[in-house]
Chains A and B, each alone.
Chain A
């Protein structure tokens, strides 16, 4: 058990309701300093509500939380001094230029005119935005906006950086560049709590992952520990003859719960590794099933949920 002083974030029984909806229904989290910690869950699981509470934007209904040694409920202003948050929607002034946004925030933190301008220049060059610095933010691409938004969270190096779905809506190149950035930040000692809907993202970045659903934590561990429960990958198999689906399903079911694709032609089953996928394919062919196509991939969020709860996640508009 880590000592309290080694924890960047520690919550016990944190709750928050909106009317009758329990968005966060009692969450305990311990995030050690310097770690990248991912909160994984579908839309409406309560990820954003949890983050907004920890970032002092939303008061909790119940429970306790300490952020970098400050009590969230008793002293939110002290918490604000050691955190930064990059929300799902760019929290920038779109009418101003990238540079003006950074200068404005630097001055709000207390840098004088000259120091604020220098800070903006440094951040623009660090985030590869020097050329775009004097353009209005409403002309930026999604990836540039996201980089500027993260830069805006680093005016003063935060103890904890909250990132709410940092790569949602980005193209693969922009996603890679945000991932690189997050790793570099963590290497410099910033604790990062991020939310994501992608297992791959949590797997790539985070040392620990908490899976949440309907406001509750349903699993927590390292990526390896979670994969021990959910399988490290998924084998997708398409029989040539749809008439053989039943027979194929019977063979695959020995490895775990089998899911049919929406069109019904492809079967997916969690597998531990490539060797067990190979074994399954051999047995499938030996049983007389003709395989038209197969592939192996990372389990999707749906598949993780299927493995953890035996049911697909419920879409909740809240």
Chain B
């Protein structure tokens, strides 16, 4: 034991910021390997929602379960991605409560690298969860009319949404001490925002005051854009308004995240 310990090891050449970020991305991949249960958490709720809404409410809402699924599936994809973002906030809060980030912060590395890595992990989670939900939708009879290209574009849009909403929960993850509180707070924000949207029903039957909110709710705008991309009816205007919230959240919250991290 002594010999190896006594051997002095010098610092290698300083790695690039990108290389630092890749290491954290690798860490996220390892988490999938060691904690596969986390995927179960991510997909079970949306699967339940899809089945219940399609078969219990679908007929009443849209005439037949099949035509409701056609309306609902793009929306549930948006909801899945937005809910998933909560889990990465919980992960961050866990890391902080265990002192792991003390180790990272005392290393001479690019200070945003741990977050870049978290984001890589998030994007992979969004892709996997989204893929599973879409797969189940296809089995149940959902048909994306814009074909493969439409689905690819829709998933690109989903990732942009997940990236934008991710910042909200990274900030929460750093401000709140316990992971369960992050979850509670996260869902307290997300339930009204996702239910008071056009994910489940057309807002036409809602009272005026609520419809006013639902029509400008970023989740509605994103859902409309996703439906458009999957159906092949998307317009440039639709996509632009859908991207406002993710871009704004990134621009506003990335610096806040960095500031909180440095001050912690």
The residues of A with any CB-CB pair to B shorter than 8 Å are 52, 55-57, 77, 80-81, 83-85, 87-97, 100, 104-105, 107-112, 115, 119, 122-123, 125-128, 136, 152, 154-157, 181, 184-185, 187-189
Contact = CB atoms under 8 A, between A and B. Distances in A.
| Shortest 10 CB-CB contacts between residues of A and residues of B | A91-B103, A126-B4, A110-B15, A89-B99, A80-B108, A110-B12, A188-B6, A91-B99, A81-B108, A156-B11
Given A89-B99, A126-B4, A80 B15 contact: no
Interface in B1-60: 1-2, 4-15, 19-20, 23, 26-27, 30-31, 34-35
A157 B8 contact: yes
A93 B103 CA distance: 10
A77 B23 contact: no
A184 B5 contact: yes
A108 B2 contact: no
B27 A104 contact: yes
Contact of A189 (B8, B34, B101): B8
A81 B30 CA distance: 27
A96 to B, nearest CB: 6
Given A55-B106, A93-B27, A119-B9, 20 more contacts: A57-B102, A80-B108, A85-B102, A85-B103, A89-B98, A90-B99, A95-B35, A96-B31, A104-B27, A105-B107, A109-B11, A110-B14, A110-B19, A126-B1, A127-B1, A136-B34, A156-B10, A181-B5, A184-B2, A187-B6
Contact of B5 (A93, A95, A108, A126): A126
A239 B105 CA distance: 55
B11 A108 contact: no
A157 B108 contact: no
A111 B9 CA distance: 11
B42 to A, nearest CB: 16
Nearest to B94: A94
Contacts, number: 112
Contacts of A91: 98-103
Contacts of B12: 109-112, 115, 156
A8 B113 CA distance: 29
A109 B27 contact: no
A6 to B, nearest CB: 19
B18 to A, nearest CB: 12
A117 to B, nearest CB: 13
B109 interface: yes
Interface of B: 1-2, 4-15, 19-20, 23, 26-27, 30-31, 34-35, 95, 98-109, 113
Contacts of B103: 85, 87, 91-92, 105, 152
B107 A109 contact: yes
Given A110-B11, A156-B11, A187-B6, A57 B20 contact: no
Most chain B CB within a 10 A radius of its CB, from A157, A184, A185, A189: A157
28 contacts: A57-B105, A77-B108, A83-B106, A84-B106, A85-B102, A85-B106, A87-B99, A87-B103, A90-B99, A92-B103, A95-B30, A96-B27, A96-B30, A104-B23, A104-B26, A109-B11, A109-B107, A110-B19, A112-B12, A115-B12, A119-B9, A122-B4, A126-B4, A126-B5, A157-B9, A184-B1, A184-B2, A184-B6
A150 to B, nearest CB: 10
A93 B20 contact: no
A135 B235 CA distance: 52
A57 to B, nearest CB: 6
Contacts of A57: 102, 105-106
A56 B11 contact: no
Contacts of B9: 119, 154-157
A138 to B, nearest CB: 9
A152 to B, nearest CB: 7
Given A96-B27, A136-B34, A156-B11, A185 B5 contact: yes
A152 B1 CA distance: 16
A84 B30 CA distance: 25
A80 B107 contact: yes
Contacts of B35: 95
Contact of B1 (A85, A93, A128, A189): A128
A40 B35 CA distance: 40
A188 B100 contact: no
A56 B34 contact: no
Nearest to A185: B5
Most chain A CB within a 10 A radius of its CB, from B5, B95, B101: B5
Contacts of A88: 99
Contacts of A112: 12
Given A104-B23, A109-B11, A126-B5, A94 B98 contact: yes
Contacts of B31: 95-96
B11 to A, nearest CB: 5
A191 B13 CA distance: 23
